Homo-oligomer: A and B are copies of this chain.
Amino acid sequence: MREITQEFLSDIIDLYRRTPVLAFLYFCNGSDMEKCVLDCGAGAKVPPLALFHMHGYRTYGIDISEEKIAMAREFEERHEIMLNVEKGDMRKVEFPDGHFSFAYSYNTIFHMKKEEVYCSIGEMARVLRPGGMMFFNLLSNDDGGYGKGNEIGEGEFEEVYDGESVIHSYFGDEEADGHLAGLHMIAKQKRTGRLMENGRETNYAFIDYFLQKYR
């Protein structure tokens, strides 16, 4: 990174609410592997990859949404940095096996049906080197949003906004544990909370997985 400006510092504060991503960066830092990370669902006004970039990581991201990629581009241009966010589908990651030391997906993977979630977890594991680490979070059945929309499968709900389908899949505390082939647990966390923001109360519940690929 060339220079850390006040504008950059001011922007990245937005990332401090994405707490498990920060915990993941902490875990990555304990590894001696090459600093090379993939974000699945990387597009955002302030892309979490910016923090990895600040700490000397080579960053790569994919996102299925052109709109979110455009947001990331704007961030890159404003700060004159390259995060390498491209269009891509995490159900079929277009990188070779063992390409990255680290991979994560934050607040993204549960916007698919469960079968696709498990497929994407497999894809993240596939592009990791042995010993590499990954993180993703799932919505818990205890989340306040559970049950909203049409149930299109067990714990899978679909809502339509402006003609666009949005899926939320919700998981039991142990439900996804059997879908982590070739990975072992570094940490697993459940976050349950109540947030008052702009006069609106949100009740959330997430399950965070921090995993390492067997060597």
Contact = CB atoms under 8 A, between A and B. Distances in A.
Nearest to A190: B192
Contacts of A160: none
A10 B29 CA distance: 9
Interface string A176-200: 0000000001111111111110000
B26 A16 contact: yes
A61 to B, nearest CB: 19
Contacts of A26: 13-14, 16-17
Interface residues of A, number: 31
A205 B29 CA distance: 24
B191 A190 contact: yes
Interface string A16-57: 110110110110010000000000000000000000001110
B29 A23 contact: no
A192 to B, nearest CB: 5
Nearest to A212: B196
A191 B194 contact: no
Given A186-B196, A190-B193, A194-B187, A55 B9 contact: yes
A55 B213 CA distance: 35
